[in-house]
Structure formats: C-alpha cells, structure tokens
Amino acid sequence: MEQSQHNRTQWTSQRRRAFIEHRLYWVGQLGLPDLMGAFDLSRAQASKEINAYKRDHPDNIVYDPHAKTYAMGTMFIPQYETPDASLYLNDLMGISRGACIQNAERYALIPDVFSPPIPSRGVKPETLRPILRAIDAKKRLKITYQSMSADEPKERSISPHALCFDGFRWHCRAFCFSADGFRDFVISRILEVQPLDDDGVDPSSDLDWCMSIMLEVGPHPDLSNAQRRAVELDYEMTGGRAQLEVRKSMLFYTLKRLGLDTPANARPAHQQHIILTGPSELLEQMRGTT
C-alpha cells in the first residue's frame, strides 16, 4: 500500500513538473495561478511545487520580479518531457474538434485551428468493442462484411490482431479463413460481429505486417531550386532525401496518400512535390506489391 501511494505521489509530481516545463518552453512564463488552476492547488502548494522544481533545476527557471512571474532560464534543458511540435499541433487539432485531449490543461496558447473536413467513416462502438476484445484475447470473430468487390455482404471468419489507419479509414488487420490469408478489413464496412471461442492465428505469421520497408523520397526533379528547398524543409530532408519506414502491409495506403502510387511524370511537379528515389527496379517492385 505504501509503495502504491509512493508511486502515485511520484506520478503526480512528474506530471506537475512536466506542466511547468511545458508552460515555460511554449509560453515563456509561468505564474502561481497557472499551476493552481491546472491541479486545484492552494497558493502555498503551488509555490512549494515551483520552489522544489527550481531547487532541482535552477538553470531552467528564473523569477521575474517586474512581471511577478517565473520565466524560462537561458540555459533551459527539459527534464520531464521533450518539446514536440507534432504533438502540440495534433493536440491543437483535437481541441479545435472538441476532443478530449490528455494533459489539455497545459495549453495556454490556443489559436484558431482549421483543417479540411473529412467525411465520417462510420465506425460504431458496438463494432469496435468486440474487435478490441478479440485482439486482446487472441480469439476469432465471425463478421458480415461488405467488400467493394461483392454485390452483397458476406460472412467471414477472421482472426484480428491489429488496427491500422491509412489517413482516412480505420482497418482491422486479420487472418481471413475464407481467403486463407491476412487481409485488411475496413471497420466501417463490418455490418455484424459475433465473438467466437476458437483461438486466433499467431500474429507473427503475418509476414507483411511484421516486415518493414524503408521508403526514400526526394523533391520532384522539375521543381526550381527555391521550390526544392521549400520541399526539403517541409519533409525535414537531409541532403535532399527523407526516409520513411512503413509496414509492408501498409505500403499501398502510404504510397497512395503521398501521391507516390503512380510514376513521377504522371502529375506535374507543382501538384506532386515529392518522388520516390532509388533503383528503378526497387520502385517497380514496391508498386507491384500494391
């Protein structure tokens, strides 16, 4: 019991210190009311937390007597959470859509955010729940599935082991006993689900899921020098190249989303900013897997 209480106390302290660093780094300042409001602390408790942090990491935080607030030290080095721009932007997107965001209390700088709307994909909780349970218990499911290639829905017995997102739709990765192989099932196309007691298939036998392929991309050769530099910045390229690791089973979706599922000359450079680079036979082999 004492150990459990100690772990909870330690976790709470870590969370508060991560909050302190988040505010210092992104906002540049931190006041006692910030900590008090985020964690429902008294003024004395908030002061104690900040003083303890300052004692352990004196170079990270300084007190500004004029503003009567704490500021980020010039030698600031994060200790509890590495600043992550992608995470910040993803959380801003979630907040703008009314989603429940973990550690949402950290965010003080919340500008207006907009992204093009994506039609709902219709994943129902009563469909997702048995899939999650079957994956966890390593059991099979009987589903009624509407595929693009069939006029009517068909029953299938599957052994799910993972979920995957192609940027637009959620899929269930599973062994299909009807097709005698691993397949991706769009969850929104699953009309009915029935749990089965039969044991599932070992996920390690899904070679396409377990195997990774390293894609190398570069700027489209028809771009101007200025445009190439812009694309290199967009994709954080080094030496005009960026590498993307993808599961072989997700290669088709990745190429399609990046516009790399067609030859480089299929679209003009101002529409297709990046191309696959590498030996031509390798590119044809990868496109052949789709």
Choice among 129-143, 176-190, 258-272 with the minimum mean pLDDT: 258-272
CB 235 within 8 A of CB 225: no
Higher pLDDT, 4 or 64: 64
Per-residue pLDDT tens over the stretch 182-213: 999 999 999 999 999 999 999 999 999 999 98
Mean pLDDT of the chain: 90
Which residues, 6 or more positions from 258, have their beta carbon under 8 angstroms from its beta carbon? 217, 274
Q: Above 70 in pLDDT, residue 279?
A: no
State pTM to two decimals: 0.75
Angle at 12 between CA 43 and CA 98, to 5 degrees: 90
Q: Above 80 in pLDDT, residue 284?
A: no
CA separation for the pair 261, 255 (Å, rounded): 5
Beta bridge partners of 244: 215
% of the chain residues with pLDDT over 70: 91
Adjacency order of strands within the sheet including 69-72: 29-30, 69-72, 61-64
Per-residue pLDDT tens over the stretch 232-261: 999 999 999 999 999 999 999 999 999 988
| DSSP characters over 108-166 | -----------------HHHHHHHHHHHHHTEEEEEEE--TT-SS-EEEEEEEEEEEE-
CA separation for the pair 162, 131 (Å, rounded): 9
Q: Above 50 in pLDDT, residue 267?
A: yes
Encoding tokens for residue 54?
């300052």
Which residues, 6 or more positions from 289, have their beta carbon under 8 angstroms from its beta carbon? 248, 251, 252
Q: Above 50 in pLDDT, residue 290?
A: no
